[in-house]
Structure 1
Amino acid sequence: MRPDLLITSDSDLDVALEEFKSKKARRDSIGPKYNCSIDGCDASFKRLDQLDRHEFHHTGIVSKQSAELHMKLMQNDLQKKHACTYGGCDKVYSILTHLKRHQRSTHERTAAPQKTFKCTLPECSKMFTSACNMQRHVREAHEAPREYTCSHCTAKFRQKMKLRRHVIQQHTKEYPYRCEKCARGFYQQWQQERHQQSCKLYDCDDCELQFEKWSLFTKHCREMLHCRERHKCEHCNSSYEKPSALNKHMAAKHPATAADSTFHCNEPGCDRSYAYERNLRQHMVTAHTGRRFECLASGCGRCFSSAQNLSKHLMRDHSTKEQTKATTQEENAEIATVKPNRKRRRDAGQPARSRLAKLSCLVLDKNVDKAVRQRKTEALNSVAHELQQEQTELLSDA
């Protein structure tokens, strides 16, 4: 009711009631009021600031009403006078109750809030810290759940943030924040700042490429023969790390004479020849020493030159479990009989010791010796101190 309207009769009272009802109807209205003025767009909004924000995406121009609202918000920010008195907190509020609420929830809370309010729907087991949060959950998740549809595909999301991440990650690749060194994208600024603290690129001096990880850099150098002295073949593109490997390659692929081109079998009646000596040794074992791998399946008397070929035959022709198991046991027994006995290590069964403990003739604790092997600073300092004490005692005795 207007201040200048005085109620002196029943007609004045009716006018006041009609004005009150009209205001209440406008305030409780839930239908859209403001329509988009762009051709081909039928979006409508309840508030003018929402319409201005929507039309800004079409035109990129801020309307006069939106600019005035922004200026008013800036003036309200300047008028904020209730500052938080706790050390290290720079929050300022224009309303005293907001400041008190901030202090209670941020600084004066002694323990974490307990979730004591359960969702009213029996099929939902979510808990909340307040009835207000619970009612908001029921309204948004059960009564009228929101769904944000992707404009590029058919994916739908309940939260707008998840939709934005999906669009950036799967479609546009336009991250709001990127690393200045490696151009890696991030959704939030604090993720970018944390990444830049440890971001390091590895430059290849030979081809001017950059790599984010040391493993990728070393793999590139190994494949492209960078950062390492290699022994290259004069006749082809092959390269080797050791001269002996290069000599073997030259003898097998690029011999000086025809006689040196192959390794011939010296057994009478055998004219087989090979490019590598290891192949000749395998031929001698399988063809001339009598070591054959025979299939023990019933009705099959085939023999093979290696255990690998026998295993392939069993998987291809005799796939039953009993035959494979019996043949495998026989094969293992035969291999065990021809396998030479290896020399037992001198430190077999003894705990591993660090090289520092062996050279200094110190008997260290198991945990200390393990820390020394891992190059931990505290363990190394303690061992150095112990060695210094022993040296001092020896000098004093002398």
Structure 2
Amino acid sequence: MLIEEDTKKKYRCNRCSKVLITLFNMRKHIESHMQIHKCETCEKEFQTRTQLSRHLLIHKLYDCPECSQKFPKTEIQYHRADEHGVPIPTCGICGYRTESRCTLLKHQRRVHMTEKTIPCPHCDMKFFENSSLNQHLIRHNPVKKYECKFCKKKFPRTETLLRHERIHTGEKKKVCNRCGEKFVQKASLNYHMMKRHPDAV
């Protein structure tokens, strides 16, 4: 989207609202929305390289200060609590444990106090945080801005787009735990289970 301020041309991305001063840079930026960045360790997919870099931290191993074992950053605190008795923030109501007191407070407000103070401007629903409201708002205005690079079909959410594109790539992540047959979509796996393994449904 082209905008002009003080006779200077600027370009705003219609997907993330980022503003760039050259058309070349904007085209490169738009390409970043179309790329899929995959983690080589767990094959999880991300829309941007920054999201992938942040995700890769969970695979990095850290030394336990109390013993010689190594753990991902998200697990080391639980190991220290279970094996070495190092205190960890724990919910007194349900026993939920987390790495930080801030996350624990957020859990208690959302789950036990059912705090919902952010109203939807279109209906009577309320939400605990803006991210939940933003996901909900797609229902009221399902702008399909994420386009499949294979068939040009559009979707309102990136996760829906990535799931759809597996139809074109043939990537089969859904596996039947009875016979090992693989499927692209969960709906196909569910149909398979009803037809082949009705006793397991």
TM-score normalised by the shorter chain: which range applies? 0.3 to 0.5
Higher strand share: 2
With structure 2 as the length reference, what TM-score do the two structures score? 0.36
Larger Rg: 1
With structure 1 as the length reference, what TM-score do the two structures score? 0.20
Tell me: higher relative CO, structure 1 or 2? Use CA pairs within 8 A at least 6 residues apart.
Answer: 2
Higher helix share: 1
